Amino acid sequence: METSWPELRKACLLLEDEAVLALNKPAGISVTGERHDTDIVDMAAARGETLYPVHRIDKVTSGLVLLAKELPAHGQLTRQFNKRTAEKAYLAVTASTGLPDRGVIDLPLSVGRKNRVRIAAPRESIRRDGDTWLVDEQDVLAGKNYPSVTEFTTLARTDSHTVLALRPITGRRHQIRVHLAWIGHPIVGDPLFDRSGTFARTHLHSWRLVLDAPWRPTGTLELEAEPGADFWRVGDAIVATDPRQLLSSASELIARTTPTGH
């Protein structure tokens, strides 16, 4: 995606103060550190602006990304991600149906061949207990693995797709993408897992973020990035006829108690 930093900054700006910059990133642009790619941090640096990523979202993922403009704020914010006190929510469209209204995916992750993230257990050992997907301890593969939990709420259904709001309780690399794919509900357009067709983008979006921000008058950062029209269109189909109303309802839904069993 060819664009200049001033153009990207202006088009995607959600919030800016003396300490942070929040952007609604398009799919297809890296945040930082991706080989052979020009990323947001490099683009800004080339124009004399130093930014420190507070968190990362994948290149294929659109939506909210928070960057610090100074190191003290960066330290305060990244600690909240490390301690899992940052409140995060994503949106996704799966190339499948049959998911419950609410669910929990409690599956450990590991890194396999070619540095690919996978579930740390054989696929056939994954079982569903009510609305929770899990594996028994004896089925977890030997070696290093990372406990990983994703909660989700179903927002809309069509004959062939499902729109989800998700909260990654842990923040592992590719967590949402791997969790959904391994329970049989891959994200539409995911280059790692979706083999259902050719799509313009991956339908995963970083939607909401709430963190403590002592330097702000309210003491908090409450950020929300609305997905673009391309998120709601899958091929020739529209998966939500009134996205703003859907997201308004979703804000209340994701705040409710998670399913029994988590």
Query: Is the model's pLDDT at 1 over the cut of 60?
Result: no
Average pLDDT over residues 85-113: 95
- Catalytic: which of 39, 42, 58, 136? 58
Q: pLDDT digits over 101-142, tens only?
A: 999 999 999 998 888 999 999 999 999 999 999 999 999 999
Q: Specify the pLDDT at position 230.
A: 95
pLDDT tens per residue, range 7-19:
999 999 999 999 9
192-238 residue pLDDT tens: 998 877 888 999 999 999 999 999 999 999 999 999 999 999 988 89
**Are the beta carbons of 187 and 94 closer than 8 angstroms?**
yes
- Residue 59: pLDDT band (50, 70, 90) is very high
Residue 260 confidence (pLDDT): 39
Give the pLDDT confidence of 152-174 residue by residue, as tens digits. Answer: 999 999 999 999 999 999 989 99
Catalytic-residue membership of 212:
no
Instruction: Determine what percent of the chain is predicted with pLDDT higher than 70.
Output: 94
- Report the pLDDT value the prediction gives residue 253, as an integer from 0 to 100: 66
Considering the chain, what is the average pLDDT of its residues?
92
Pick 37 or 39 by higher pLDDT: 39
The per-residue pLDDT for 135 is 98
